[in-house]
Structure 1
């Protein structure tokens, strides 16, 4: 991987250096976020770094952002298993969908590799950052919406106080005092993905995964390959269990090649960190895109 940084100015470079130094002594995720936010209050607003990787469009990271400064700068590379699947799908699909795109990291990584990219983000504030990062890319289409079972519904959406990465559809979980709610319209995967060649779909929608999959039944039947998250704090592996209940579906870990995941117990055993989201791959056994991806990994998956 080739990787370098550019800065919004000399002050941003100083802030970055201090932030990386402070991160060395932080022992919890909460302290990382507090350091980033606290340091950000001491510097002018708008300080940022642009991440340049492997010829992809630059990705802007605000230096008071406790999530991206930690995962893309301090603990780089970010989700290398997803990058491996994306590279393996290059040339085998015309479409990548980044659903729950956040500020557009995977959208910008996919743009040079896949003919067409669709990115969807629900939060208005986060969508503005997504648009700044990817709105100028000719092969990228952006939608501000929530991925769900049906298109056109209006749902409440919660922007959490401490992390944009934890924003979610409103549900039974209580709101914190500084959380903000807004209304967002829903989109179904089947209304984004046209019939035809199977798409690569990355799904990260913070608790709405099963509803989103129901809205993508036709795309999955067409052979779409799904990259989805099963969080370490869910011992029931709810999303994976839903997929395993479909006899035609095959699930794989992608952290070390493609490793078949035949049951919930196997998936649960991989999820050792309750604070981490784990990425898995799912598709129908007869998906031509899954077959193409599998042949590009060192360990070809078994038939499951």
Structure 2
């Protein structure tokens, strides 16, 4: 486990974050925040690729051509794995975006080659939230970080990034992408309601989702089962810091939210996924059971989600996960993000 001791995010620092703009008039703060969002957004849109070698470049060209022929979702993975067997599993492309560290994508990975390369940009709605929150909070938490795409994208935008991943193999890829980034702290753990427990996880065969609870669904013949310790959000986020938290923990969302009670009271904003295959909108319904929570869709702007029916209507694809925001009504960080989205809309 690698730790970063550069940044002090205690209560005193949190107070400075909350009060550092008070000497300026509201208009100046708004203009500064708007300029920061626009410049950061432009930087993140600058992207180019490098390759692990000439063979990787050829494999990439062939793969992108094959993706044009894919008529079902399953073919993307088959094409990527098939070419991977021909060229070798070590071939990779490195995605460079703005000031973010390069993100390594194995060319036999059917998920990341499809969504981060072929159908780029990847989850632009999440990128908009990160840029809107940049400068408004010192801390971004990438919980269920997978191989570190959002960890590395967030590194230039926040003073500290905490990334947590449960799967040993996926954590190794996360470490490869983020271990040299000085303001990133990595933990191999499962996010849950309480720290210090042990849980059995399944690494699902052929799925980009790195791990899920074994209790939710038994392991298949080619799946791997491993035991990992748990961490609660409230033990990761310092008291008094309103963090931006991205939560992608494959079925453990409600337990993770229970472990974030204090962080949410401190003004944290949660980016979470409500999957299209869940008509009950289980995670959103749990959040809405707290009358102080406010939920927002971020797919086409920042739109309030007052009830489960409204959220269900947003989810038109049963194979897709939909990103939403959640925060308490009095969250100052949520207010800054809303201001950022409003500035974005005015800029066209």
User: What is the TM-score of this pair, normalised by structure 2?
Assistant: 0.85
Q: CA deviation at 1:299?
A: 7.8
What are the within-5 Å matches in structure 2 for residues 1-304 of structure 1? 1-165=45-209, 167-298=211-342
Aligned partners of 1:144, 1:185: CA distance in 2, in Å? Answer: 8
Name the SS for the 2:342 alignment partner. coil
- Give the number of the structure with larger relative contact order, counting CA–CA contacts within 8 Å between residues 6 or more apart: 2
Aligned partners of 2:163, 2:218: CA distance in 1, in Å? Answer: 29
Q: CA deviation at 1:103?
A: 0.3
The Cα offsets for residues 171-219 of structure 1, whole Å up to 9 and x where unpaired, read as 1313221001000000000000011130000000000000000000000
In structure 1, list runs of 5 or more residues that go unmatched: none
Q: CA deviation at 1:166?
A: 5.1
Bigger Cα Rg:
2
Whether the aligned pair in 2 keeps the contact of 1:147 and 1:187 (CA below 8 Å) is: yes
Whether the aligned pair in 2 keeps the contact of 1:257 and 1:299 (CA below 8 Å) is: no
Aligned partners of 1:166, 1:126: CA distance in 2, in Å? Answer: 6
Q: CA deviation at 1:44?
A: 2.4
Name the SS for the 1:88 alignment partner. helix
- Matched pairs, number: 301
Q: CA deviation at 1:30?
A: 1.1
Aligned partners of 1:172, 1:192: CA distance in 2, in Å? Answer: 25
User: Higher helix share goes to which structure?
Assistant: 2
Whether the aligned pair in 2 keeps the contact of 1:101 and 1:204 (CA below 8 Å) is: yes
Aligned partners of 1:132, 1:151: CA distance in 2, in Å? Answer: 25
Q: CA deviation at 1:116?
A: 0.5
Aligned partners of 2:100, 2:92: CA distance in 1, in Å? Answer: 18
Extract structure 1 runs of 4+ deviating beyond 4 A: none
Name the SS for the 1:164 alignment partner. coil
Please identify, of 35-44 and 160-169, the stretch whose mean Cα deviation from structure 2 is larger.
160-169
Q: CA deviation at 1:167?
A: 2.3
Name the SS for the 2:99 alignment partner. coil
Aligned partners of 1:53, 1:10: CA distance in 2, in Å? Answer: 21
The Cα offsets for residues 77-119 of structure 1, whole Å up to 9 and x where unpaired, read as 0000000000000000010000000000000000000000000
